[in-house]
Structure 1
Amino acid sequence: MKPSASALFMRVVAILFAAYALLWATAPFTAINLPARLILDVSDWPLDRLSQPLDRNTMWIVSIAAGLLGAIAVLFWRVVAPAIEAGNKAIMRSTLYAILVWYVIDGIGSVASGVVSNLVFNTVYLVLVIAPLILTKYGREGSV
């Protein structure tokens, strides 16, 4: 992939993450938290708890996660995508390491808590993030 295409791909991923964060951020607002309940229920397949209200701890932890995911979306857009365009291998490598750390910790926690289906969804997100990092092809000057 050309650097410009990879950077665009990363910006699309950033938009997806930001949208997901906004939907997840509805968790503490009982009147409008259907999107958050749907995300949680789909992540813990099968759909069987959509009509159940979220408890206080779930609303709290999901709000924290939504904020972190929103921040990651901004980093992808404002730091990582420009780094891809510029051929900044240090930022690209650090992003790869960071997403792998997230994947391992989240995956182990998901499996240990019996929510293996979340690991499947996380694998999709992992591929979306690492694709523009590892598939970017530079000319001689910025070769990886």
Structure 2
Amino acid sequence: MASKKTHKAWLKITAIAIGLFGPVFFFGTMQATSEAARLTMDLLGWPIDGAQDFEAPTTRFLSALTGGFLLGWGATVWCLSTWVYDKAPEEVRKTVLVGILFWFVLDSAGSVASGNAANVFFNTLIMFVAIGPMWTPAKG
């Protein structure tokens, strides 16, 4: 079992793991800076085959929305760890876990439905990184 100090620190790792995808997808909104987002989508839609592109305006718009949501979600988790965790550690832990699990289920189902089942593997890795030691309540 992890300590509250470990959980609080891990929440920051979770926030970074979520939030780092924000700028990647933001830069996908512009052709000149879209390569990182295109490569990320190519990797998550394994195999890496160059089939992903960011040329369609609707793809760039979706990239803007995704980037904003991910950066905002990462910032929210960071703020929970900074401003709320000490007052309600178990509630913060459960809230972040529920958010991660809802993301995992819907993102994975959507990946399978869209023909990108390989992304479930990557989602599983990201989920384990984001949850880390927070799966169980902190001791002490």
Asked if TM exceeds 0.5, the reply is yes
Q: CA RMSD in A?
A: 2.1
Cα 1:66–1:41 shift into 2, 3 Å: same
**Aligned equivalent of 2:95:** 94
Written as runs of structure 1 = structure 2, the 5 A alignment for 1:101-140 is 101-139=102-140
Separation in 2, partners of 1:48, 1:96: 33
Question: Given residue 18 of structure 2, which amino acid in structure 1 is its aligned partner?
Answer: F
TM-score by length of 1: 0.83
Structure 2 stretches lacking a partner, 5+ long: none
**Aligned equivalent of 1:41:** 42
Question: Given residue 64 of structure 1, which amino acid in structure 2 is its aligned partner?
Answer: L
Separation in 1, partners of 2:82, 2:101: 18
TM-score by length of 2: 0.86
Separation in 1, partners of 2:46, 2:35: 16
Structure 1 stretches lacking a partner, 5+ long: 140-144
Greater RCO (Cα-Cα under 8 Å, separation 6 or more): 2
Question: Given residue 42 of structure 1, which amino acid in structure 2 is its aligned partner?
Answer: L
**Aligned equivalent of 2:6:** 5
Matched, 1:59 2:78: no
Instruction: Among all aligned residue pairs of Structure 1 and Structure 2, give the percentage whose two residues are the same amino acid.
Output: 24
Separation in 1, partners of 2:13, 2:130: 10
- Deviation per CA, 1:25-84, whole angstroms, max 9, x where unpaired? 111111111111111111111111268443111111121111110011101111146544
Separation in 1, partners of 2:126, 2:38: 19
- Work out the number of aligned pairs and report it: 139
